[in-house]
Amino acid sequence: MSPAAIVVADTITKLPSQAAGAVVVSGSHGGRYPGYLAAKAGLRAVILCDAGIGLDEAGIGALPYLEGWGIAAAAVSHLSCRIGDTADMLARGRISRANAVASRLGVEPGMATGDAAALLEAAPLVAAEPPSLGESRGEVAEAGPRRILLLDSAALVRPEDAGCIVVTGSHGGLVGGDPAMALRTDGFAAVYNDAGIGIEEAGIRRLPALDRRGIAALTVAAASARIGEARSSFEQGIVSAVNETAARLGAEVGRPARPLLLAWSRRA
C-alpha cells in the first residue's frame, strides 16, 4: 500500500481538495470543533496546535473527540511553534499530546511534527459521519446600541458585521502570518482567545495588526475561557493582552471581559 499524503492547511476551516484521506498538519487550535471538521472532511489523521491546552483542556478537545471515531490525532506545543503557521509547525513544532490511536502508531510527546506526520500515514482511514456540533453565530441580548456578536470561529465573520463588537472563540494568532486575516471586516472591536500566548507571543499577533486598522482588540486568557467557544470568552474570559486602540478605550489586562464589552456596546 502506498503511503498516504501529508497535506498542510494554516486553518482547518479551509482544507484543500486533496485533504480527504490524507494526514493534515493544520495551524488551527486543537479544540473540539476543528476535530469535528477533520472527521467530516474524511481525514486519515490530523495534527493541530494545543493552544495552551487551557480551561477544561479545550485546546486539545479534538483528540478525545476523534479518538471516539477511531481517528488518529495529535497536538503540537504552543511553546514550540507559532499557532496558525504550518511552516513553523513543520520546522520547529514538537508534539505535546496524542490520542490513543496516534499513540499506538508511535506518536509521543517531544516528537518533531514531521516525524509524527510520517507515522500517521499508517493510520486507519475511518469513514465517519459526525453529527453537527452546531458551531454558531450568536448575539448578546443585553448589549447596548452597538451589537456584540458571539462567533465560535473567526471564519464566521461577515462583511455586514462592520461596526460591531466581534467576540470569537478563535485564537489570536495570525493565520499564515497574514495581517489581512486578522479580522475579515472593519469591526469596532474584536476579541480572541490567547491560546496560551506561546512562542514569540504568536497567540496575540492579531492585536497589533488590528491596531493598524484602528480596531480595538484584546485576548482573553486560555486558562479563563474555553477556546472555540465565544460565549465562554464573553462570560468567563479574563483579559490577557490589549492593543493600543483598546487600551485607549479603557481595556486593562487582568479585568473580566464582559463588563468592558457591555460598556463599549453602550458607547455612542
Would residue 182 count as lying in a domain?
Answer: yes
Number of domains in the chain: 2
Q: Distance between CA atoms of 205 and 74, rounded to whole angstroms? A: 24
State whether 57 and 171 are in the same domain: no
Q: What is the mean pLDDT of residues 161-188?
A: 93
Domain extent, residue 151, equals 137-265
Pair (88, 150) in one structural domain:
no
Place of cell 500566548: 197
pTM for the whole structure: 0.94
pLDDT at 133: 80
Q: Is residue 1 part of a domain?
A: no
- Pair (243, 156) in one structural domain: yes
The answer to the question of residue 131 being in a domain is no
Tell me whether residue 126 is in a domain: no
Domain match, 256 and 157 both: yes
Q: What distances in angstroms separate CA 68 from CA 12, 117, 132, 161, 261, one per listed residue?
A: 19, 20, 15, 36, 37
Residue with cell 453602550: 266
Give the pLDDT confidence of 40-74 residue by residue, as tens digits. Answer: 999 999 999 999 999 999 999 999 999 999 999 99
Q: Write out pLDDT tens, residues 214-260.
A: 999 999 999 999 999 999 999 999 999 999 999 999 999 999 999 99
Cβ contact 30:61 at 8 Å: yes
Alpha-carbon torsion, ordered 140, 148, 231, 200, to 10 deg = -170
Residue 219 burial (CB count, 10 A): 30
The residue among 65, 92, 120 that closes a domain is: 120
* In a shared domain, residues 33 and 115: yes
Boundary-marking domain end, from 55, 86, 120: 120
